[in-house]
């Protein structure tokens, strides 16, 4: 959709879409990378990968949301 | 009543989730037929009956039931369907109105005297609704965008550097396919669960300190409990309406997202 | 000394409750002030929206870190 034919309703709808999908994106990033770290920990018998994975997941999903909606 | 078994003790005990939500079968021997099931069946009959009474033979100038239900219909159309579905709104009104009214009646059962149990506080009920919406979402997405196109639009948002996709695609997939329907159901469930526990706790405080063990010191606490019960019941009615609205709104949002790919 | 009150159950639930206070206030402030800003200057909608979402993301991340923190520190 080009910039000219955008109606104000579209903006509001995009905003609602973004605001509702942000928490699930963050949760998903944490779950995937934290879960991967947890599995690595179980496999290698360490305890460092889970926190690293969680932080990595948060950073990646914040980056994703920033690139997707923050413009 | 199972909720009153704590009165056997000599101390005040807050009602536990087990007492409040793990209800015995109404007819002994029929294990599945508990209070939430009965209320869910009643709500279904109520919604069908009210909508039948309102729209079976609609008048141009609405009267009585039709007036009320038309107000609800207008609310769903203007606040839920049109902002998210645009010109497809009228096609999906049947589904959205049914979902909105059903969830609203389920929730309102939590404050109706004698019923007083929000059906959605058992997670099975919102989970079934959310799963149906989820199946519809995936079906519509595959139908309107093609199987490859749907997953491509979902997992690869445009405008990112190539190597980053490798890291971000799993996040997008998990967030859209698993976390989204999960939060859709859990949001309704958790609100109703917590609200019911709050009301039960404060009414228990009032009952215990004013009727069971009336002491000069405890009477003040009991009065606070009764007042909080009244305030929270009003607040709970607002939350019940809001959650029904949000459930229908998220359903409309998922359907709209499948019909038109993000731009 | 007689026991006046005791807490039973998982203490990490209390931890998450405490961790959710700050982000709760933060999200409230972000959307409250954001709506106010849009009402004052509707023409700056795009800019306000972008910053609102950014602030919301960072605050929400804190709340979710609070959710997983009990798991991280479970075996320390």
Average pLDDT estimate for B71-99: 89
Helix A8-44 and helix C45-72, axial crossing angle in degrees, nearest 10: 20
Does residue A4 register a pLDDT over 50? no
| CA angle (B239 as vertex; B235, B243 as ends), nearest 5 | 175
C3-34 confidence digits (pLDDT tens): 777 777 778 888 889 999 999 999 999 999 99
Angstrom distances, CA of residue A19 to CA of A69, B131, B173, C54: 9, 22, 18, 10
What is the separation of C-alpha C44 from the centre of its chain, rounded to a whole number of angstroms?
Answer: 26
Q: What is the residue range of C31's domain?
A: 18-69
- pTM for the model stands at 0.86
Instruction: Parse chain A into domains and list their residue ranges.
Output: 23-69
Average pLDDT estimate for B39-64: 88
Is residue C75 situated within a structural domain? no
Is residue C76 situated within a structural domain? no
ipTM strictly over 0.90? no
Does residue B263 register a pLDDT over 60? no
Grade residue B44 by pLDDT with cuts at 50, 70 and 90.
very high
For residues A14-40, one letter each, b for 16 or more C-beta atoms within 10 angstroms of the residue's C-beta and e for the rest, the string is ebebbbbbbbbbbbbbbbbbbebbbeb
What pLDDT, on the 0 to 100 scale, is given for residue A18? Answer: 81
Q: Do chains A and C touch (3 or more CB pairs under 8 A)?
A: yes
Distance CA C55, CA C37 (A): 14
Grade residue B6 by pLDDT with cuts at 50, 70 and 90.
very low
Indicate which CATH number applies to the domain containing C32: 1.20.20.10
Average pLDDT estimate for B94-120: 91
Is residue C40 situated within a structural domain? yes
Mean per-residue pLDDT over chain B, rounded: 87
Distance CA B123, CA A5 (A): 43
B248-258 confidence digits (pLDDT tens): 999 999 998 88
What is the separation of C-alpha B180 from the centre of its chain, rounded to a whole number of angstroms?
Answer: 15
3-state secondary structure of B198: helix
Q: Do A18 and C75 touch (CB under 8 A)?
A: no
Determine the residue of chain A that is closest to C64 in CA distance. A27
From the list A26, A34, A70, the residue facing C54 with the nearest CB is A70
Does residue B134 register a pLDDT over 70? yes
Grade residue B221 by pLDDT with cuts at 50, 70 and 90.
confident
User: Which alpha helices (DSSP H) does B64-179 contain, by range?
Assistant: 65-75, 82-85, 89-108, 124-145, 147-155, 162-174
| CA angle (B128 as vertex; B156, B139 as ends), nearest 5 | 40
Window B:86-115, CB contacts with A under 8 Å: 86
Window C:40-69, CB contacts with A under 8 Å: 45-46, 49-50, 53-54, 56-58, 60-61, 64-65, 68
Residue B143 C-alpha, separation from nearest chain A C-alpha, in angstroms: 21
Distance CA A42, CA A49 (A): 10
Q: Which residues of A touch C50 (CB under 8 A)?
A: 69-71
State the total domains in chain C: 1
> How many beta-carbon contacts under 8 Å exist across A and B?
60
Does residue B244 register a pLDDT over 70? yes
Nearest to B167 by CA among A56, A43, A71: A56
How many CB atoms are located within 10 Å of the residue C1 CB? 3
Is residue C7 situated within a structural domain? no
Does residue A55 register a pLDDT over 60? yes
Phi, psi of B20 (to 5 degrees): -80, -35
Contact present, A6 and B166 (Cβ < 8 Å): no
Residue A9 C-alpha, separation from nearest chain B C-alpha, in angstroms: 7
In the 8-state DSSP scheme, what is residue B16?
A: P
| Token couple for B105 | 């009646």
C28-45 confidence digits (pLDDT tens): 999 999 999 999 998 888
Does residue B142 register a pLDDT over 70? yes
Q: Do A50 and C57 touch (CB under 8 A)?
A: no
| Token couple for B253 | 């949002």
Instruction: Parse chain B into domains and list their residue ranges.
Output: 19-259
From the list B86, B164, B171, the residue facing A32 with the nearest CB is B171
Is residue C57 situated within a structural domain? yes
Best of C45, C59, C60, C76 to disrupt the A interface (most A CBs within 10 Å) is: C60
| Token couple for B233 | 């019941």
Grade residue C75 by pLDDT with cuts at 50, 70 and 90.
low
């Amino acid at each position: 959709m080009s910039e000219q034919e955008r109606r104000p309703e579209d903006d509001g709808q995009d905003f609602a879409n973004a605001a509702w999908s942000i928490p699930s994106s963050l949760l998903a990033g944490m779950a995937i990378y934290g879960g991967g770290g947890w599995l690595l920990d179980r496999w290698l018998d360490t305890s460092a990968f889970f926190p690293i994975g969680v932080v990595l997941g948060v950073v990646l999903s914040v980056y994703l949301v920033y690139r997707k909606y923050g413009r | 009543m199972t909720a009153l078994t704590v009165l056997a003790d000599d101390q005040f005990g807050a009602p536990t989730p087990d007492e409040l939500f793990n209800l015995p079968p109404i007819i002994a021997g029929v294990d599945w037929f508990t209070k939430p099931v009965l209320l869910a069946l009643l709500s279904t009959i109520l919604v069908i009956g009210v909508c039948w009474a309102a729209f079976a033979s609609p008048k141009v100038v609405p009267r009585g039931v039709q007036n009320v239900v038309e107000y609800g219909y207008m609310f769903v159309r203007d606040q839920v369907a049109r902002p998210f579905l645009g010109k497809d709104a009228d096609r999906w009104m049947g589904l959205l109105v049914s979902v909105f009214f059903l969830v609203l009646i389920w929730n309102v059962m939590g404050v109706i005297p004698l019923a007083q149990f929000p059906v959605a506080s058992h997670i099975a009920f919102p989970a079934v609704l959310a799963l149906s919406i989820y199946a519809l979402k995936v079906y519509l997405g595959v139908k309107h965008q093609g199987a490859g196109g749907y997953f491509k639009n979902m997992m690869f948002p445009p405008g990112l550097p190539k190597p980053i996709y490798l890291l971000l695609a799993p996040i997008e997939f998990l967030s859209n396919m698993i976390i989204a329907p999960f939060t859709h159901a859990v949001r309704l469930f958790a609100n109703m669960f917590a609200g019911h526990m709050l009301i039960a706790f404060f009414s228990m405080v009032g009952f215990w300190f004013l009727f069971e063990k009336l002491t000069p010191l405890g009477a003040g606490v009991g009065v606070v409990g009764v007042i909080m019960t009244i305030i929270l019941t009003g607040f709970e009615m607002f939350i019940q309406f809001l959650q029904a609205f949000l459930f229908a709104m998220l359903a409309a949002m998922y359907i709209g997202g499948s019909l038109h790919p993000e731009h | 000394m007689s026991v006046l009150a005791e807490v039973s159950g998982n203490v990490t639930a209390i931890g998450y409750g405490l961790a959710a206070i700050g982000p709760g206030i933060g999200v409230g402030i972000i959307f409250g002030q954001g709506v106010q800003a849009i009402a004052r200057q509707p023409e700056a909608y795009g800019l306000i929206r972008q910053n609102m979402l950014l602030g919301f993301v960072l605050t929400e991340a804190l709340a979710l870190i609070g959710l997983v923190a009990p798991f991280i520190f479970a075996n320390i």
